[in-house]
Amino acid sequence: MKRSCLAASIAVAGLLIFGGLARAEGCAYDRTAMLAMDLDRFDQDASGWRTVGQAPGCFLAGAGLIADYRKAHPNLPLSQADGLRWHEGQLRAMGGDSQAAIPLLANANHDGDATNQAYAEATIAFLRHDRPALIAARQKLSGLPQPADFQAGAAAYKAQTGRELSWPPNLDVVDRLLACFDRPYVEAYGGACSPPR
């Protein structure tokens, strides 16, 4: 719930903090409540960072919120911290700050998963405007063998969410990055261009 602004404010890293209410780029959220959320709710639920980061024009405000959450919760398990780093990096890239996004994305795969690594390489290549590296990462991703348990996991995921999973994950996103190579990340990620057939 948003709270009214107090008279005193402090400017911090592009945010204005009024009591527990933060404002950035016309975006507002209850910072105290957001930072108090458990990780699953903050990262996976529609009431967490997505309420800020997916609002029009609020990518960088959402990235700042995730950064604040990571600082407020320094002892998160590595895989969960990686997920937050990835989402923060994506939001920074969507907000046009590729230089801040790249190190976050590069350091968000400590479990060594090959599909995540190839996807990260593709995303970083796009942000660096390195088409040959993007093509190489796509080839790497598309060539990864499907795990034996993938179909069972995909069926369970569909039963739970109603959405399909295909192998390899995120190949469709990488194809959009290639199709929109000269466009901003937010447009490429969102599918502003049609992938080549």
Question: Which of 101, 102, 80 has its CA nearest to residue 91?
Answer: 101
Residue-wise pLDDT for 92-109, tens only, equals: 999 999 999 999 999 998
The two three-digit tokens of residue 160, written as one number: 């739970």
The CB density around residue 190, as the number of other CB atoms within 10 Å, is 14
At position 56, the amino acid (one-letter code) is: P
pLDDT over 50 at 62, yes or no: yes
pLDDT computed for residue 26 by the predictor: 67
pLDDT computed for residue 1 by the predictor: 30
pTM, entire model: 0.81
Confidence of residue 196 (pLDDT cuts 50, 70, 90): low
Angle (CA) 173-179-182 rounded to 5° is 110
The two three-digit tokens of residue 164, written as one number: 């399909």
pLDDT over 50 at 18, yes or no: no
Sheet (strand 15-18) strand order: 10-12, 15-18, 21-24, 27-30
Give the percent of the chain with pLDDT over 90. Answer: 70
Residue-wise pLDDT for 126-182, tens only, equals: 999 999 999 999 999 999 999 999 999 999 989 988 988 899 999 999 999 999 999
Radius of gyration of the chain, Cα coordinates, nearest whole angstrom: 18
Cα distance between residue 188 and residue 54, in whole Å: 16
> What is the chain's mean pLDDT, rounded?
85
